[in-house]
Amino acid sequence: MDLLDQLNAHFDAMPPVAAMQVRAVHFDGERLRLRAPLASNVNDKACAFGGSLTSLMTLAGWGLLTLKLQQAGIRADVYVADSQVRYLAPVYGDLEAEAWLAPEVDWPAVLSAWASRGRARATVLARVPGAGEASAAELSGRFAALRPG
């Protein structure tokens, strides 16, 4: 089972995420992309529910950090510590979100913190694409990784 299959199995085991029908579709070691159908995430205005957009971006950030740690041979429990979201435009089609580490994140320092303390933090950025190059929604979140309890 590859990393995306493992992540999708994890999503399927969480009832709210399974209801959203979230799928991890691409991971290149630096960016993770998730998708979910509009039909499972629609609001009363026939566009994507804002909570679904936030959830998808949060899951993309969580999944990104989880996969990057797994690639480094680390099994960790990852949590979102806090986040800020901006809604910029409605989404009338299927949802997609992409996440990546913030430019200021020093990945070797994150791994060093894990090695010395058994926990680490990283800031992750995520976006839901809109028309052209514009974003429909953006998230900046701090995620924490802890030793499994």
In the chain, how many H helices and how many E strands?
Answer: 4, 6
Report the run of H or E that residue 97 belongs to, with start and end.
strand 95-101
Report yes or no: 31 and 24 within 8 Å, Cβ to Cβ.
no
The per-residue pLDDT for range 109-147, each reduced to its tens digit, is: 999 999 999 999 999 999 999 888 899 999 999 999 999
Residue 48 CA to residue 65 CA, distance in Å, equals 25
The per-residue pLDDT for range 67-119, each reduced to its tens digit, is: 999 999 999 999 999 999 999 999 999 999 999 999 999 999 999 999 999 99
Q: Which residues of 11-43 are buried (b: 16+ CB within 10 A; e: fewer)?
A: beeeeebeebbbebeebeeeebbbebebeebbe
Number of domains into which the chain is organized = 1
Report the run of H or E that residue 23 belongs to, with start and end.
strand 23-27
* Containing structural domain, residue 50: 3-146
Report yes or no: 84 and 140 within 8 Å, Cβ to Cβ.
yes
Return the CATH number at 77: 3.10.129.10
pTM of the model: 0.96
Residue 122 CA to residue 101 CA, distance in Å, equals 7
Report yes or no: 77 and 144 within 8 Å, Cβ to Cβ.
no
Report yes or no: 67 and 32 within 8 Å, Cβ to Cβ.
yes
